[in-house]
Amino acid sequence: MNPAARMLLANKSWVQEKLSQDPGYFQRFAPGQSPEFLWIGCSDSRIPPNEITVTSAGELFIHRNIANLVIADDLNVQSVLQYAVLVLQVPHVIVCGHHGCGGVRAAMSRETSGPLDTWLDNIRAVGERHADELAAITDEGERWDRLVELNVRAQIEQLANSEVIRTAWARGPRPRLHGWVYGLDDGVLRELVTVERPVAGD
């Protein structure tokens, strides 16, 4: 059986299993969604957001792209942000990078071309802002992981300065911003940075 046909078959048995455990399972999703988190993560196939956070359908509103970037003029991520934050009013936005990120590595290697190369310029800009710190790290793997972390922090800054988040913070305390990094080799999520609405007067 071809892999796509196998997936459709697996879906049928999954539906049967869900219904046997809970006959109303699918009907409960019909009225709408009210997720607690917007998850902005890397497209990497080894990092399934619901699986690593042990969350279920309806809990995460998800956007993924190469190297989990939040770019001001990217209509895709900005419209996801707008809908999740201003319409669904998620209390938390998570940017999750991961050690061993191929996108970050490709940005360091400068061996890409086409749209991907333009996309990765955003990571190169982060690297240039921290050039001295990165140059001081002699181990290439450690330098790679450090750029992954700096990249997550940069995306949290981009979020905090975005029109959508500023609009939300003018209305109330939501959302809280979280920068995390996932360890591909140990499965552990680590907190890097948390940002809340600035206190009035700051």
Neighbouring residues of 48: CB distance < 8 A, sequence distance ≥ 6: none
- Nearer of residues 103 and 175 to Co ion, judged by Cβ: 103
Q: Map tokens 């939300």 to a residue.
A: 168
In the set 63, 96, 98, 178, the catalytic residue is: 98
Rounded distance between C-alpha atoms, residue 37 and residue 58, angstroms:
10
191 and 178 Cβ atoms separated by less than 8 Å: yes
> For residues 44-73, which are near Co ion according to CB under 5 A?
44
Q: Interface with Co ion includes 149 (CB under 5 A)?
A: no
Specify whether 42 is catalytic: yes
Q: To the nearest whole angstrom, how small is the minimum distance from the Cβ of residue 148 to Co ion?
A: 8
Rounded distance between C-alpha atoms, residue 13 and residue 158, angstroms:
42
Specify whether 96 is catalytic: no
- 3-state class of 178 per DSSP? strand
| Two tokens, residue 105 | 């590595």
Q: To the nearest whole angstrom, how small is the minimum distance from the Cβ of residue 101 to Co ion?
A: 3
User: In the chain, what are the helix, strand and coil shares in percent, each to the nearest 5?
Assistant: 50, 15, 35
In the set 28, 46, 171, 190, the catalytic residue is: 46
Among 38, 42, 106, 168, binds Co ion (CB under 5 A): 42
- Region of 13-21, 55-63, 103-111, 141-149 interacting with Co ion (CB under 5 A): 103-111
In the set 99, 101, 105, 145, the catalytic residue is: 101
Specify whether 63 is catalytic: no
134 and 109 Cβ atoms separated by less than 8 Å: no
Q: To the nearest whole angstrom, how small is the minimum distance from the Cβ of residue 178 to Co ion?
A: 18
Q: Interface with Co ion includes 145 (CB under 5 A)?
A: no
Specify whether 28 is catalytic: no
Specify whether 178 is catalytic: no
Q: What is the CA radius of gyration of the chain?
A: 19
Provide the binding-site residues for Co ion, judged by CB under 5 A.
Answer: 42, 44, 101, 103
